[in-house]
């Protein structure tokens, strides 16, 4: 009888987290197989550097192994909880890198948001909405695109954006606001 292939449904993921809480290594392996490409894509979008994303993903699964018992289905869907762990780990990594002054990355828009580089495949990234957003981001001025990416993919405040881009606060706010207006117009939002 062939093995049943698991699907990454909320019920399946919640069951795997419950089994991981009981120290079941096969459940962790299954969870990794079902979620790693999506979570790696998230880490890569935040960190840009592949090796950093790989490290964060590994750290995230160690945290999931140790803290699976903290998951509460009444508060969030399993994938939301997993993504929050990866996102927080990625942002912590960026803060550490900045604090240590190591691994500086080029502040040019192309480095932050590669124009033609494909991220790891996932249903979300291949969706029509994601393609439309990528198209609209590509139509922005480089400074506006960079400010938007720092604000929404790197979760930076206006003051952090002005520090990253080495521009006055008003300029960072203007680029972000102007970019958002152009995105709304391109995406057809009211």
Report the pLDDT averaged over residues 101-105.
53
In the chain, where the domains are located: 10-100, 126-188
Residue 36 near residue 50, CB atoms below 8 Å:
no
Report the pLDDT averaged over residues 93-101.
80
Query: How far apart are the C-alpha atoms of 157 and 183, rounded to whole Å?
Result: 19
HEC secondary structure over 139-186:
CCCHHHHHHHHHHHCCCCCHHHHHHHHCCCHHHHHHHHHHHHHHHHHH
Q: Answer yes or no: is pLDDT of 155 > 50.
A: yes
Q: What is the DSSP letter of 125?
A: T
Q: What is the CATH number of domain 126-188?
A: 1.10.10.10
Q: What is the pLDDT of residues 142-151, one digit of tens each?
A: 888 888 888 8
Residue 94 near residue 102, CB atoms below 8 Å:
no
Q: Per CATH, the architecture of 10-100 is what?
A: Orthogonal Bundle (1.10)
> What is the sign of the dihedral through the CA atoms of 69, 73, 75 and 76?
positive
pLDDT band at 115 (very low <50, low <70, confident <90, very high): very low
């Amino acid at each position: 009888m062939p093995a049943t292939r698991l699907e990454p449904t909320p019920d399946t993921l919640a069951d795997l987290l419950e089994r991981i809480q009981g120290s079941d290594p096969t459940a962790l392996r299954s969870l990794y197989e079902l979620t790693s490409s999506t979570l790696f894509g998230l880490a890569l979008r935040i960190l840009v550097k592949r090796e950093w994303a790989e490290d964060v993903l590994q750290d995230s699964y160690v945290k999931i192994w140790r803290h699976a018992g903290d998951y509460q289905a009444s508060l969030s869907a399993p994938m939301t909880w997993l993504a929050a762990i990866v996102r927080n780990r990625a942002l912590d990594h960026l803060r550490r890198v900045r604090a240590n002054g190591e691994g500086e990355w080029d502040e040019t828009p192309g480095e932050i948001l590669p124009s033609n580089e494909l991220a790891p495949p996932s249903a979300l990234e291949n969706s029509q909405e994601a393609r439309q957003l990528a198209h609209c981001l590509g139509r922005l001025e480089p400074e506006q695109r960079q400010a938007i990416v720092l604000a929404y993919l790197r979760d930076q405040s206006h003051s952090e954006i002005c520090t990253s881009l080495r521009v006055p606060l008003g300029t960072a706010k203007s680029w972000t606001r102007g970019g958002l207006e152009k995105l709304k117009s391109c995406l057809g939002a009211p």
